[in-house]
Amino acid sequence: MIGHSPLVDFQNNHLISVIRVFREVKAFTAVIVQLLLKFLAIPLSKTRSRSIWTAVSRYISKSKVVPEEKVDTNINELQHLDAALFRYRTSNKLEFIQTVRKRLEEFEATVDSINSHLESISRHLISTRTSLLNFISFY
């Protein structure tokens, strides 16, 4: 057999191990991102119903749109924003702008928080990958 040596077998096994680790990290990352997206899409309470008011609520959240006066504290930031947009037809324009600005700031803070957590997860994944590669290359 040409090219068949213990060194070649070791390198192939090493490469296979590295590929396996990368696949596991990729799968783990995909699960984390899916969980974060599900967290954003559902309210804190378990009650859910169909909404047809805005594109945001249709594509991200499936809970009922309610005016801000009746907003429950167990809903997410997207639902707060959706409720503020719902009030546009019945509210004073200045009041509407202030309410929407406040909701957008809250939403931005939530997105920034998620972004910082994702960066932290990314750093930990890189650290774990480095440790695994060091471990694999040692043996």
* Residue 121 or residue 55, greater confidence: 121
Nearest to 80 by CA among 60, 110, 100: 100
Residue 66 scores a pLDDT above 50: no
For residue 68, what pLDDT band results from cuts at 50, 70 and 90? very low
pLDDT value of residue 49: 42
pLDDT value of residue 107: 82
CB 78 within 8 A of CB 107: yes
Give tens-digit pLDDT for 10-52: 667 777 877 888 888 888 888 888 877 777 776 654 434 444 3
pLDDT value of residue 17: 79
pLDDT value of residue 73: 56
The percent of residues in the chain predicted with pLDDT above 70, rounded, is 63
CA distance 35 to 48: 18
Across residues 70-95, what is the average pLDDT? 68
Token representation of residue 74? 């167990």
Across residues 113-139, what is the average pLDDT? 85
pLDDT value of residue 11: 66
CA distance 118 to 124: 10
CA distance 32 to 38: 10
Token representation of residue 51? 């909404």
Residue 122 scores a pLDDT above 80: yes
Phi, psi of 62, rounded to the nearest 5 degrees? -110, 25
Across residues 123-136, what is the average pLDDT? 86
Packing angle, helices 93-138 and 6-41, rounded to 10: 160
Q: Which residue has the tokens 């609520």?
A: 57
